[in-house]
Amino acid sequence: IALGDCGFGRRKDAGVVRATEVEDAVHWSAALAGRGAAWRGAAAAEGDARGAAAAAEAGAVVAGRRGGIRATRTDHATRCEARRGTGSGSVAMAAQVSQEELKKQAAWKAVEYVKSGMKLGLGTGSTAAYAVERIGQLLKDGSLRKIVGVPTSTRTAEQAASLNIPLATLDEVSQLDLAIDGADEVDPKLNVVKGRGGALLREKMVEMASDKFICIVDNTKLVDGLGGSKLAMPVEIVQFCWKYNLQRLQRLPEVAGCKAQLRMGEDGKPYVTDNSNYIVDLYFKRPIADAYAAAKAISALEGVVDHGLFLDMVTTCIIAGTDGVEVKEK
């Protein structure tokens, strides 16, 4: 199927962020190795067998119910500690996993839900890119077979094609088994804000066509209420009379107090989506009082294509944090 179908064209600047950085532990491990013999000798001479100790923690599962949402946590933090038996001091070190590595772990966790023969929605963003990459790996080694992916942006379409993931559009595959994608904000009820990457319309279309939607985020995206991060809540609008629609958005009582701004590109010109539309970003000083009322009011405006409020859509949320990966399910 040609990538040009339904607007899935190629873009030269499309890319995937893979900036995994893990804290270097060479300095302490070298020192530890140098002192090891002395510690063992001192411990033997004193009859104190405390020596050098190491411990690791993984797979701690915490289950609970909060407002109909089940939470499970897998702790990936690894701790390594060495102590002197003489009591004169100790050397301790915790190897911390980087944020990018945690995103990768969360994405791989999401791919565990993928089975051979599935029709998948492929999300857009740095975390979703890890999931697309993993699916490509599993297809290559034969662990997955007969997968069809529907990408949510030109960036994702190009990445998936480079990994030899068979692609289609909603024209060819109108119902999907599963979608995996990121989010910009997640509230306690697993309602989310999406679209700061500019792909909100295609993301919503693909994820609404999916039986299940797995959302992947890091823990900085958690908010008490949507709009609470004080960052952009995007609204995609047609280019025609965009100032008129920007002003109408800002005047809506359901989003009272917001500041509306036309999104600009790096070239200083209005940002244009894959669908040739503009984006108006709404900024809030406090969380939206009623996200459902706001969504309805925004959608009612002529010239609005769609908005970044994804309500009652997420079925599973995988949250990557410094303490590990947490899975919440409705």
Positions marked active-site: 203
β-sheet with 309-310: strand ranges across: 185-186, 192-193, 309-310
Reference 186, options 156, 151, 213; nearest CA is 213
Mean pLDDT, the chain, whole residue set: 80
Is the pLDDT at 12 greater than 80, yes or no?
Answer: no
* Mean pLDDT calculated for residue range 133-156: 98
pLDDT at 63: 38
* Mean pLDDT calculated for residue range 126-141: 96
**In whole angstroms, what is the distance from residue 120 CA to residue 134 CA?**
13
Burial (Cβ within 10 Å: 0-12, 13-18, ≥19) of residue 207: buried
Is the pLDDT at 53 greater than 60, yes or no?
Answer: no
pLDDT bin (cut points 50, 70, 90) of residue 20 is very low
pLDDT at 32: 36
**In whole angstroms, what is the distance from residue 99 CA to residue 95 CA?**
13
Reference 132, options 12, 222, 219, 214; nearest CA is 214
pLDDT at 302: 98
- For 67-90, how does the pLDDT look when each residue is reduced to its tens digit (9 = 90+)? 456 666 554 443 333 333 444 443
Does this model's pTM top 0.85? My answer is no
pLDDT at 2: 41
**In whole angstroms, what is the distance from residue 186 CA to residue 226 CA?**
7
Quickly count: other Cβ atoms within 10 Å of residue 125's Cβ.
26
Q: Which residues are CB-contacts of 274 (< 8 A; sequence separation ≥ 6)? A: 7, 153, 154, 198, 199, 202
Q: Which residues pair with 214 in a beta bridge?
A: 180, 316
- For 223-273, how does the pLDDT look when each residue is reduced to its tens digit (9 = 90+)? 999 999 999 999 999 999 999 999 999 999 999 999 999 999 999 999 999
* Mean pLDDT calculated for residue range 264-288: 97
pLDDT at 99: 77
pLDDT at 206: 98
* Mean pLDDT calculated for residue range 198-209: 98
- For 212-222, how does the pLDDT look when each residue is reduced to its tens digit (9 = 90+)? 999 999 888 99
Classified as helix, coil or strand, 160 is helix
pLDDT at 105: 86
Is the pLDDT at 7 greater than 70, yes or no?
Answer: no
pLDDT at 68: 58
**In whole angstroms, what is the distance from residue 203 CA to residue 197 CA?**
10
β-sheet with 304-307: strand ranges across: 259-262, 278-283, 233-237, 304-307
pLDDT at 3: 43
Is the pLDDT at 31 greater than 80, yes or no?
Answer: no
Q: What is the dihedral of CA 213, 218, 221, 224, to 10 degrees?
A: 80
Is the pLDDT at 189 greater than 90, yes or no?
Answer: yes
User: What is the phi/psi pair of residue 40, to 5°?
Assistant: -65, -40
Q: What helix, strand, coil percent values describe the chain, rounded to 5?
A: 30, 25, 45
pLDDT at 35: 38
Amino acid identity, position 119: K
pLDDT at 100: 86
pLDDT bin (cut points 50, 70, 90) of residue 167 is very high
Amino acid identity, position 161: A
Whether 200 contacts 316, CB under 8 Å: no
* Mean pLDDT calculated for residue range 265-291: 97
